[in-house]
Structure formats: structure tokens, C-alpha cells
Amino acid sequence: MEKRQLKKSVIYSLYVISFIFLVSGVILLGYVTKQSSGSGYDYVSKGIFDYEENVKVVNTGDTIARPYTDENVTIVKNYYDYKGESESQEKSLIFYENTYMQSSGVAYSKGDVFDVVSILNGTVKEVKEDTTLGNIITIEHKNGITSVYQSISDILVKSGDKVTTGQIIAKSSTSNISTELENHLYFELIVDGVCVNPENYYDKSINEI
């Protein structure tokens, strides 16, 4: 019986088909292995500081806080603004012993006692008892900033103490210079030796001043 031989063209076709199946199998196997091993990540050779343009870090300098944390506290005596309207200026006068004085700070009250806190990190410069102003704490901060807290009681700090932003330093109280305000805090903010309106400085970074 005569044996039949395959044509060369058929043999070549079988080789090509086998090669295609082999290559496809290798690619498929590699993909499956990559997925199962969890190594399907793109890696970079540069470090975070090797790039020419890095993301800028936000400046986290001290921010001036209010001298209280109670949301019910309101202004009962404004800072005297020399450039303000006459009606506003009139409401910013302090009358004591038959004398009118311009308010160099802001008086805050809520009708009851509330915590008084430091507006910034700083060092207590002075703690003084004063029957007229109602006791005083003076704190020095960076960038020529000084904060003064008057009409206070239950003082928790002493001269030389380091304080942090929001730290409770005293309680609101009364003063003989502003008896009509009853329980309150009288607060002054001094920048480079000049009293300024505190309301214009809250929530600002000391680097902006």
C-alpha cells in the first residue's frame, strides 16, 4: 500500500499555525501571571526631589485666633476708628470719671462668664492686677505682635509662661472703667507698638502682617 506524503506547503502552514499558538500562549500566560501577582504597576526611577517642578508646600505659619471660643460672644464696644463715621465713633467712646476716651480695643461679651484664650503662640510678658481695668494679661508674639487681655479673672498663667494658640488663660469678668458692660473681655491688639482694630486681623497669618 503506497504511503501518502504531505505537501511541503501544508507542512509549512502547520509550522506557522503552531508558532502562532505558541506565541499566543506565552503572552496569555504572562498576562495571567501579572494580574494574579498584583504587580501590574508602573514604576518610576526618579525620586520625588529629582523633578524640576515639585508641588509647593503650603505655608503653615501661625494664624491669629479670636480671644474666645464661645460662639455666643459678641461685640459690645468697638475699636475707635479715626477714619470711621461719626456715629460709629460715638459708640466707640469710653466714659469714665466724667471723661470720654477713645476705645483702643474691642469689648466682647455674652452676658455670662466665658473662657479667654491666647490668640497666638507666645510668651506672657506681664500679669497685673488692676481694679480699674479689671486685671490684665499681656502676651508677646512673633513679628512685633502683642495681645492685651483686660477685665479678666481666674488667671491661669504667670509672667514668663509659654502659651499656645487657643490656650485658656483666664475668664471674662468686670471692670470699674466699663461697669455698664457688666461681664466682658476687653481686648487690645498691638502691632509694632500701635493699637489696631483686632477685627481686621483675625484669621490672618502673622506672615501677612
CA 178 to chain centre: 33
Would you state the cell numbers that stand for residue 187, as one nine-digit string? Answer: 481686648
Encode pLDDT of 59-104 as tens digits. Answer: 444 899 999 999 999 999 999 998 888 888 888 899 888 888 899 9
Angle, alpha carbons 110-83-208 (nearest 5°)? 75
Would you state the cell numbers that stand for residue 102, as one nine-digit string? Answer: 477713645
**Residue 10 three-state SS:** helix
CB 78 within 8 A of CB 103: yes
- Write the DSSP symbol of residue 111: S
Could you please state the CATH topology (level 3) that the domain comprising 74-208 is classified under.
Answer: Glucose Permease (Domain IIA) (2.70.70)
Encode pLDDT of 32-46 as tens digits. Answer: 454 544 444 444 444
Encode pLDDT of 171-186 as tens digits. Answer: 999 999 999 999 999 9
Encode pLDDT of 125-155 as tens digits. Answer: 999 998 899 899 999 999 999 999 999 999 9
Q: pLDDT higher for 180 or 17? A: 180
CA 108 to chain centre: 22
Q: Which of 165, 123, 144 is nearest to 209 (CA)?
A: 144
Beta strands 122-128 and 136-140 are antiparallel
93 has which bridge partners? 102
